[in-house]
Amino acid sequence: MSTLDELIARKSVRAYTDEPISAADERAIISAAYEAPTAGNQQLYSLVAIRDQALKERLAVLCDNQPFIAKAKLVLIFLADLSRWQDAYTAEGLDVREPGLGDVMLSVVDTAIAAQNSVVAAWSLGIGSCYIGDILENYEEFVEILDLPPYAFPAVMVVFGHPTEQQLRRTKPPRFAYDDMLGEDRYLHISGERLEAMMGAKIGVPGRDRNLQAFVDRKWNADFSIELNRSVAAWTKTLHDYYGKPGER
């Protein structure tokens, strides 16, 4: 398959066969992450591979009770990590400012791009994967569990395994229409019937099977979503608490 065909065919995989991921495949998946572009080639991220089964089960609970996490053959946590450079600056006694929210955003971008490289690499090897957004929750617990230094934040988690037949047959969820996503030279404002039709692709047709309230209850207003926002606010509080005010020297 061409790269383009693979990108189109890839879908999230949440049920796995018993087949382990070989050491060579694991190395290829992780190495692919390292080949991703990063801001200033700083590679503002690092990884933790979760090996311990009891820890996988704990993660499954902490990440909004998703049992398939514990059944994955490879669990990778991608940390948005400003600590390495900060440590190097400090070790050399350099006069540097403290990291700020902009630095965190940049490191999260690096982290997500690297993770996606690993997802695409895995798919090319016949290995499925699923992102777990709930890793953004329970920040303080992950500091303990993963022994995180300041400025290393669990931004992305991806779980991997060989897809079951059922997962291979499963229809990939639809995307928004091509033109609804693309502004030309400026932001594309969408409202009214066009906005309703746009959402129809995801949550049903207005007046018939659409239930936006159910979607809001299940996602946007859900407890996990509230916790996620609290937890990420705690990341940024770390920036204030550890050395001082972000941007200050």
Q: In this structure, are residues 129 and 12 in contact, taking their beta carbons and an 8 Å threshold? A: yes
Nearer to ligand FMN, 172 or 245 (CB): 172
- Buried/exposed code over 6-29 (b: 16+ C-beta within 10 A; e: otherwise): eeeebbbbbbbeeeebeeebbebb
Which residues are at the interface with ligand FMN (CB under 6 A)? 11-12, 14, 66, 130-134, 172-173
Nearer to ligand FMN, 149 or 232 (CB): 232
> Which residue of this chain has its Cβ atom nearest to ligand FMN in the complex?
133
Q: Shortest Cβ distance from residue 14 to ligand FMN (Å)?
A: 5
Q: Please tell me the distance from the alpha carbon of residue 220 to that of residue 228, in angstroms, as a whole number.
A: 11
User: Which residues make Cβ contacts (< 8 Å) with residue 140, sequence separation at least 6?
Assistant: 231, 234
Q: Shortest Cβ distance from residue 173 to ligand FMN (Å)?
A: 4
Q: Shortest Cβ distance from residue 133 to ligand FMN (Å)?
A: 3
Q: Shortest Cβ distance from residue 85 to ligand FMN (Å)?
A: 25
Q: What are the φ and ψ backbone dihedral angles of 193, each rounded to 5 degrees?
A: -65, -35
Nearer to ligand FMN, 130 or 148 (CB): 130
Nearer to ligand FMN, 86 or 138 (CB): 138
Q: Shortest Cβ distance from residue 87 to ligand FMN (Å)?
A: 28
Cross-strand partners of 77? 48, 157
Q: Shortest Cβ distance from residue 16 to ligand FMN (Å)?
A: 13
- Buried/exposed code over 125-152 (b: 16+ C-beta within 10 A; e: otherwise): bebbbbbbebbbbbbeebbebeebebbb
First to last CA, the chain: 52
Nearer to ligand FMN, 63 or 239 (CB): 63
Among 81, 235, 71, CA closest to 164 = 71
Nearer to ligand FMN, 169 or 249 (CB): 169
